[in-house]
Structure 1
Amino acid sequence: MNANVGGIDRILRIVAGLALLAFAFFGPADLSWKWVGYIGVVPLLTALMGWCPAYTLIGVSTCPAKRA
């Protein structure tokens, strides 16, 4: 499991993940599709691990150490 998520990519994933989770926890209570916010766990985990399975499948890497 080699790192394939770079610094800026990690920051964007953390921000997106936290925003989605905030929507799930603090969004309007009358929405029936509030569960979509829990998808925010995925970008948070990939940012913390530094590895994205989807990037592996398509052969992409934003990690500068991987390109060097």
Structure 2
Amino acid sequence: MAADQPVTQPPPFPAELAQQMQALRDALQQAAQPLSAAQVAARFKRLKPEKVQPLLDTLATLSLIRQTPEGLFSA
């Protein structure tokens, strides 16, 4: 990273469920490759994989994201 680029902090995770689901989809859409629940959680401030996993599972069940055979998620 260049010295003149500001260091960005991960955004906070939204409080409302609908916004949480959208934030997770957005994070997966921005990712270059499928991510694990821990990798998705790391994209937000103070978010644990245990909180993300059921939301990702729900999005996958609704066919809003895809889950790979390895258990990773992609948009």
- TM-score normalized by the length of structure 1: 0.31
Higher strand share: 2
Higher helix share: 1
Give the structure, 1 or 2, with the largest relative contact order (CA under 8 Å, sep 6 or more).
Answer: 1
